[in-house]
Amino acid sequence: MTIDPSIFKAYDVRGIYPDNITPELAYKIGQAYAEFIKPKGEVVVGNDVRLHSEELKMKVAEGLTDSGVDVVDIGLISTDMYYFAVGNYGFAGGIQSSASHNPPEFHGFKMIREKVIPLTFEDGISQIRDLIVKDEFVKSETKGKIRKLNIDDDYVDYILSWLKLKDIKHFKVVINPNFGYAGVMFRKIVERGKLPIEIIGLNDEPDGTFPKGRPDPFIPDNRIEISELVKSSEADFGIAWDADADRVFFCADGGLFAEPYYLNTVLIKQMLKKYPKEKIIYDPRYTWALIDAIKENGGEPVISKVGHSYIKEKMR
CATH number of the domain to which 275 belongs: 3.40.120.10
141 and 90 share a domain? yes
Q: Which of 78, 97, 98, 100 is catalytic?
A: 100
Does the annotation count 100 as an active-site position?
yes
Count of domains observed in the chain: 3
The phi, psi pair for 249, rounded to 5°, reads: -135, 155
Q: What is the pLDDT of residues 181-221, one digit of tens each?
A: 999 999 999 999 999 999 999 999 999 999 999 999 999 99
Domain boundary among 150, 168, 185: 150
Answer positive or negative: Cα dihedral of 297, 299, 302, 308. Answer: negative
Q: Which pLDDT does position 188 carry in this prediction? A: 98
Task: Summarize pLDDT for 49-86 with one digit per residue, the tens.
Answer: 999 999 999 999 999 999 999 999 999 999 999 999 99
Same domain, 133 and 218: no
- Predicted confidence (pLDDT) at residue 260 exceeds the cutoff of 90: no
Q: Are residues 81 and 116 in the same domain?
A: yes
pLDDT of residue 309: 86
Whether pLDDT at 259 is above 90: no
Same domain for 137 and 21: yes
pLDDT in tens, 13-51: 999 999 999 999 999 999 999 999 999 999 999 999 999
- Per-residue pLDDT reduced to its tens digit, 78-123: 999 999 999 999 999 999 999 999 999 999 999 999 999 999 999 9
Distant-in-sequence contacts of 307-311, Cβ < 8 A, 24+ apart: 307/10, 307/11, 307/120, 307/283, 308/11, 308/118, 308/246, 309/10, 309/11, 309/118, 309/119, 309/120, 310/10, 310/11, 310/120, 310/283, 311/281, 311/283
Whether residues 239 and 268 share a domain: the answer is no
Rounded to the nearest integer, the mean pLDDT of the chain is 96
- Enclosing domain of residue 180: 154-258
Cα separation, 46 vs 79, whole angstroms: 9
- The pLDDT of residue 308 is 86
